Each structure stands twice: as C-alpha cells, then as structure tokens.
Chains A and B, each alone.
Chain A
Amino acid sequence: AQSVTQLDSQVPVFEEAPVELRCNYSSSVSVYLFWYVQYPNQGLQLLLKYLSGSTLVKGINGFEAEFNKSQTSFHLRKPSVHISDTAEYFCAVIVPGAGSYQLTFGKGTKLSVIP
C-alpha cells in the first residue's frame, strides 16, 4: 500500500517570498503524483500532476513541483506568493493501471500568506 507524508501542517510566509511545501511518498511500485489546492469553503482543484516524462512539472497559478524518485519526494514550489495563494494544499498519489481508482492523500498543508 502507498502512503503520503506532508511534512508541515502549517506554513506561514510573507507576500512575495518564495515557498516550498514538502511531500514524501512511500510505495513499492511506481506511482502518479498530484498536488491539489483547496481555497476556503471550496472543493479541491488540481494544481499539477506528474505521470511520466520531465521531472519538473508546471501547474496553474505559477506553481511547480519536482519529482525526485531517489528521495521519493514531490515538493511544491512557488518563487513569489500572493495573498490569494492562502489555502490548504494536498499531495496525493495513485498507482497507475487498469481499474486504478483510489487516490491516497496526505494530511494537508495550510499555507498562510502574510501581507
């Protein structure tokens, strides 16, 4: 079975500063990796995903993530955050294959951007 660890439950950062949200996963097989964002009082929205190919993945709203197989990590980064980035961020994995349905989520990281 696979698991996801988000190392920080809360990350405060000043506006226009860079941010990194950390995600490590555990799996005995190859996985696909995702970052979702949840703005206050809303559902989840896909930020970006890694399925294969280039290990640096660019997503919406200026976010990017790098897949590191040797360190089993998929950290999310943004060079300059805005107030509107205040949200909760979830890392998730899925084992690819026919009939693959179940996403496994981390416990989430709350990003607070301070003006």
Chain B
Amino acid sequence: DVKVTQSSRYLVKRTGEKVFLECVQDMDHENMFWYRQDPGLGLRLIYFSYDVKMKEKGDIPEGYSVSREKKERFSLILESASTNQTSMYLCASGAAGPEYNEQFFGPGTRLTVL
C-alpha cells in the first residue's frame, strides 16, 4: 500500500521561530510536492522537487524553502514563521514519466503560528 507520511499532524509555533515540516514517501517516487491548503482557496503549490537536491518554485514560494537530501524525504522550512503562515500543509509524491502520474497525498500538518 502506498504511503506518504508527515512528521506531525498538529504543530503550534511562535512568530519568528524556524519551523521544519518533514515528509517521507515509501514508493521510490522521483517527484515530491508541498502544498498549502486554506479555506476558500483550495490547494496552492509552494515548491516541488523532481530529483534529489533539485527544486522548483510553485505558485507561492515566498517565506518558504525546501530541502531534499534523500529521495524519500522532502522538507519544508519556514525560516521565520509568521501568523499568515498558519495553515494546513499537504505533502504529495508521484512517479516521473513522459506524461502524468498520479500524486499521492499525506494526511497533512495543521500549523498554527501564534
């Protein structure tokens, strides 16, 4: 059974803290993604990675960075958390290929920044 896990389901941090959100997949997928989900806005892509140490900006990368040192792990970093980064964060992974391959999602991390 395919599996994408995220390190925390709920996280509470203070403004200015450095925050790490971790995502691990066990499907040997090349592609990994970080999305942010907000009520009434749907899912918006923050960053994605198509290989180890490779990354591409999505639609809303400001205030975030990412790290992919191993194929199975993709980290989202908030260098200095702010209250407007309070949100649900979803990680996904998918195989590479000539066309499209399905993205599999983790359960999400609900981050609250106080």
Do A101 and B48 touch (CB < 8 A)? Answer: yes
Question: Is B41 on the interface with A (CB-CB < 8 A)?
Answer: yes
Segment 31-54 of B: residues with Cβ below 8 Å from A = 31, 33, 40-45, 48, 50
Q: Which residues of A contact B105 (CB under 8 A)?
A: 36, 43-45
Total A residues in contact with B, Cβ cutoff 8 Å: 26
Q: Which residues of A contact B98 (CB under 8 A)?
A: 98
User: If the complex has contacts A43-B4, A44-B105, A97-B99, are A90 and B45 also in contact, measured as CB distance less than 8 A?
Assistant: no
Across chains A and B, the number of contacting residue pairs, with CB separation under 8 Å, is: 56
Question: Is A78 on the interface with B (CB-CB < 8 A)?
Answer: no
Do A32 and B102 touch (CB < 8 A)? Answer: no
Do A44 and B90 touch (CB < 8 A)? Answer: yes
Bound Cα distance from A43 to B40, whole angstroms: 17
Question: Is A54 on the interface with B (CB-CB < 8 A)?
Answer: no
Q: Which residues of A contact B42 (CB under 8 A)?
A: 6, 90, 105-108
Residue of A nearest to B9 (CB): A41
Contact with A43, one of B56, B102, B106 (Cβ below 8 angstroms): B106
Footprint of A on B, CB under 8 Å?
4, 9, 31, 33, 40-45, 48, 50, 56, 58, 90, 92, 94, 98-100, 102-103, 105-108
Footprint of B on A, CB under 8 Å?
6, 9, 32, 36, 41-46, 49, 51, 90, 94, 96-103, 105-108
